[in-house]
Structure 1
Amino acid sequence: MKFSPFKEKGTPIEKQIQSWSEVIPQPYDKENIDPYSKARIILMNGIEVEAAMFLHQFHRNCNDNDLRRQLAQSRFIEQLHQKKMNWQSPPDESILETTIGYEQLAVDLTAWLAQNEPDKNVKASLDFALLEDFDHLYRYANLLAMDEGIKAEKLVGKYTEIMPGRPTIAHHRHPKDNVKTHNDFKKAKIQTKLNTQIIVAGEQQTMNFYNNVGPIYKNSLGRDLYLEIAMVEEEHVTQYGSLLDPNASWLENMLLHEYTECYLYYSFYQTETDNKLKLLWEEQLNQELTHLQTAAKLLEKYEKKSYLEVVEEEFPSILELKPNVEYVREVLKNTVSFTNNEEGYVDVNELNKDSRFISHQKVINKEYVPSHKVIEEHIKLKDEDYRFEVEKHPIKELQNRKEDNTVIGILK
């Protein structure tokens, strides 16, 4: 069913401020929540953080106080929405248990976006980073098995495989090679605009989460792993962020941010299985509809542009979080040895020996690589790594459970 967010009646802005008792949620039950319900919460937390921080930056680059008051009003509600998302996590859920949710989201969200992406450049970017988030899930799952005795397959509901992707040791690239060709805002299809907005916010939230929780992890190996993977998330945020069109105006960007929020809340309202969360997605959607329609009026007032110059009247097909086992396996088979090389992606074995990638690897991986150490320690403890596979790994070199491969993605 087609849905036009500009024709729907949203909640009036003056009715969107709520009391603390209305804002503070009852946390979910970590033993019974569906993994994709948890993933939706994590994603919308990141989307709302991005919305609020974008509006802060707009505010700091705007000299019209009437407009800044409008931004402040919208931003305040976005912050309330973010609190409703972030405070869903229960106090008995460990940092690592939450982290497994972040990485499952990264895998299945990225896989869905890639399969529904019309732009070849953006799809290549999604497929590339997909294999890295997939490997991060494997590394954190092994740490979880050692530190808490929990099998991550339970947390992901066996929807998502847990096994090596492109080894994390191979993710560390020179920052100059993470910059890609940006979209053309005027020519890009609406699905591409949505996909890039969503993945930037999602990866940015993961980076920020690891930056915050990593230093307070309970042991040094875990702290080190969070630090290493947080730096890979910096690479991903740079890569995905470079896809956004820098020529779009502040108000065009504001409209697209609001459109993205409405699109996701609508998608999740349609697909949610938890009745309490379904009501929350509906409530947030109705409030965001008003923000979107306000943004459209501001764009027309200040830039004399119609919202149809930025977005479409109706949403494209809804976003669905679901298993992507076969798709991930196919991407693994075809691109596990790829690395970034300026605007493109190449098999690492095609690089010159004096390339930036190889020289960067020699410096950053010189003595100690936490992601590799985690698997080594698990193998020492259990005589093999921890995995959840539906069948043998599609890459022969990554089938050995008694030795961590630190060559694939670096050089033959």
Structure 2
Amino acid sequence: MGFNPLEHRGIPLDRQLRNWSELDVEPLDPDRADPYTRCRVIAMNGIEVEAILFSHNFSRICVEPEIKWQLAEVRYIEAQQQKVVNWLLPGQSSVLETTLAYEQVAVDLTGWVARMEPDPYLKQAYEFGVLEDFDHLYRYANLYEMIEHRKADKIVDALTEVMPGRPTFLHHRDPMDNVRDPYDRAKAAPISKLHALTIMAAEQQTMNFYMNVGPEYMEPIARRLYQEIGLIEEEHVTHYESLVDPGETWWERLVNHEYNECYMYHSFMETESDPRVKGIWELHLNMELEHLRLACDMMRKHDGRDPEQILAPELPAPVTFEPNKQYLRELLATQIDLTTLGAGYVREAHERFERMQAAVNGDGKPPSELVIDEHRDRFGGEYRMQTDGEHPVPSLREVRVKH
């Protein structure tokens, strides 16, 4: 039998408040921690931040004080959870090292979701996005070696390859071509809704992170690269958030958010290699079970529907951080030259795409290309980390010519 979070009572809400000593968690050891433990921490931080922001937005459209009070009470606990999760990241890690970990999350979490997604249209959306995150990892890896004189394999540990994806300068598209068609809330599989929430939250956190840390660098090339990729992350959030059916009621969204938190904490509890961190995932799961129960009661009362109508009867297979090398190579070989047109995908440049490219990249090379040029000037070549020495995708020159 699988795990049905609706059948389990968690920790009562009035027992979830923690004091400072309980919130003061020991961070990961950057030299000994499993890279995928760090990935789980970053992913779960994004999930918690999304839960908090969603609750704030919901509260802003509520009239009834009782609803605002309950949202605020749960939200404060969510904020404590977020502090514990995010504070697991080691303070001695540099911003660039954390950035590399963020992109490893984007590559291997989105890659896993793409492999598991049953809806072909949603699957294509994840496959399209992951090739762009893959290229961001490559750009930041070259920047990391230039600024900190270290190689990205220190961070990604050969679990994720570092090599070009869809070239970053080709990610700048007309905003209307970043909006996808949403799933149909009445027909979509429950796992598809969870996937969409998860990747939207992860990309949103990456966008927020780059918006804030980019200006902290003194090196001009670093400031420029964060600025460029930060803009692309905004495109990615638009891309993924548009997959969610806007017809979902606020109560339906609340229940989906809480169910997804249960799913993610349960997944990470099942797959975590660090016993101490596993204990945090288990504790937070038991908190989220109560948050889900309260959200379901609110949906029954205010939306007049039973949550079982929209939720899976048990949690799907755990979200798993694992290498996606072969899958990514297959995507690189078949989809590197895709761009978007409206809600779909095409292989040839079109008028809106070319107009956007001219507007953004028209006065010279973009930062994502300059960082590779500068790396070649300094080291005689670009930084890559491949596990078999082969590069099965078209050259960047071939992709440029095609566009």
Alignment correspondent of 1:148: 148
Alignment correspondent of 1:45: 45
Alignment correspondent of 2:75: 75
Alignment correspondent of 2:352: 356
- Count residues with an aligned counterpart: 401
**Structure 2 counterparts to residues 4-403 of structure 1, below 5 A:** 4-348=4-348, 351-352=349-350, 355-366=351-362, 367-391=364-388, 392-397=390-395
- Contact (CA 8 Å) 1:186, 1:309: kept in 2 or not? no
Moved over 4 A (4+): none
- Contact (CA 8 Å) 1:372, 1:406: kept in 2 or not? no
Counterpart CA distance in 1 for 2:80 and 2:398 is 46
260-269 or 367-376: bigger deviation: 367-376
Q: 3-state DSSP class of the match of 1:345?
A: strand
CA drift at 1:356: 0.2
Alignment correspondent of 1:402: none
CA drift at 1:368: 3.5
Structure 2: which amino acid aligns with 1:411? K
Counterpart CA distance in 2 for 1:172 and 1:105 is 22
Counterpart CA distance in 2 for 1:76 and 1:217 is 32
Q: 3-state DSSP class of the match of 2:340?
A: strand
Structure 1: which amino acid aligns with 2:399? I
Structure 1: which amino acid aligns with 2:144? L
Counterpart CA distance in 2 for 1:332 and 1:315 is 32
Structure 2: which amino acid aligns with 1:225? L
CA drift at 1:149: 1.1
Counterpart CA distance in 1 for 2:156 and 2:401 is 29
* 1:320-352 alpha-carbon deviations (Å, 9 max, x no partner): 11000000000010100000111101102xx44
Query: What residue ranges of structure 1 are gaps of 5+ in the alignment?
Result: 398-404
* 1:218-254 alpha-carbon deviations (Å, 9 max, x no partner): 3111011001001100110001111001000111100
Alignment correspondent of 1:401: none
Q: 3-state DSSP class of the match of 1:408?
A: helix
Counterpart CA distance in 2 for 1:407 and 1:375 is 17
- Contact (CA 8 Å) 2:333, 2:394: kept in 1 or not? no
Structure 1: which amino acid aligns with 2:17? I
CA drift at 1:410: 6.7
Alignment correspondent of 1:400: none
CA drift at 1:304: 1.4
Aligned CA RMSD, in angstroms, stands at: 1.1
- Contact (CA 8 Å) 1:339, 1:409: kept in 2 or not? no
CA drift at 1:396: 4.2
Counterpart CA distance in 2 for 1:242 and 1:33 is 35
CA drift at 1:36: 0.5
Alignment correspondent of 1:408: 399
Q: 3-state DSSP class of the match of 1:66?
A: helix
Query: What residue ranges of structure 2 are gaps of 5+ in the alignment?
Result: none
Identity score, percent = 45
Counterpart CA distance in 1 for 2:132 and 2:312 is 33
Structure 2: which amino acid aligns with 1:4? N
Structure 2: which amino acid aligns with 1:385? E
CA drift at 1:24: 2.1
Counterpart CA distance in 2 for 1:364 and 1:150 is 31
Q: 3-state DSSP class of the match of 1:63?
A: coil
Counterpart CA distance in 1 for 2:303 and 2:172 is 42
Q: 3-state DSSP class of the match of 1:361?
A: helix
Q: 3-state DSSP class of the match of 1:240?
A: helix
178-187 or 134-143: bigger deviation: 178-187
Counterpart CA distance in 2 for 1:61 and 1:69 is 13
TM-score (norm 2): 0.98
CA drift at 1:390: 1.7
Counterpart CA distance in 1 for 2:237 and 2:59 is 22
- Contact (CA 8 Å) 1:138, 1:163: kept in 2 or not? yes
CA drift at 1:54: 0.3
CA drift at 1:406: 5.6
CA drift at 1:411: 3.1
